[in-house]
Amino acid sequence: MKALRILTVVNLSLWTVLFLAWIPYSLQVGFADPISSEVRWILATTAVLLILLGFVRLRKRRPLLG
């Protein structure tokens, strides 16, 4: 379980670094750039997956019926 927590922190860190690098790049070349569009797709997909992971982790901590 501790390994999952470590991987989650690493994943969030990498997502943050990619997001912070993508913002200035997109402002410089434009949001319609193919690379910017691809990175935006990756960021959106991983953000949704991280949110789902958060819901699963919260769900595991609570008992199902009470």
- Residue 50 within any structural domain of the chain: yes
Task: Spell out the per-residue pLDDT of the chain, length 66, in tens.
Answer: 677 788 888 889 999 999 999 999 999 998 888 999 999 999 999 999 989 888 888 877 766 555
- Residue 54 within any structural domain of the chain: yes
- Residue 63 within any structural domain of the chain: yes
- Residue 62 within any structural domain of the chain: yes
- Residue 5 within any structural domain of the chain: no
Write down the pTM of the prediction. Answer: 0.74
From 55, 53, 50, select the one nearest 19 (Cα to Cα): 50
Which residue's structure tokens are 């691809």?
A: 38
Give how many domains the chain has, as a whole number.
Answer: 1
- Residue 1 within any structural domain of the chain: no
Q: The tokens of 13 are what? A: 């860190």
SS3 label, residue 31: coil
Long-range Cβ pairs for the range 8-16 (8 Å, 24+): 8/50, 8/53, 11/46, 11/50, 12/50, 15/43, 15/46, 15/47, 15/50
Residue 47, domain extent: 34-66
- Residue 3 within any structural domain of the chain: no
- Residue 60 within any structural domain of the chain: yes
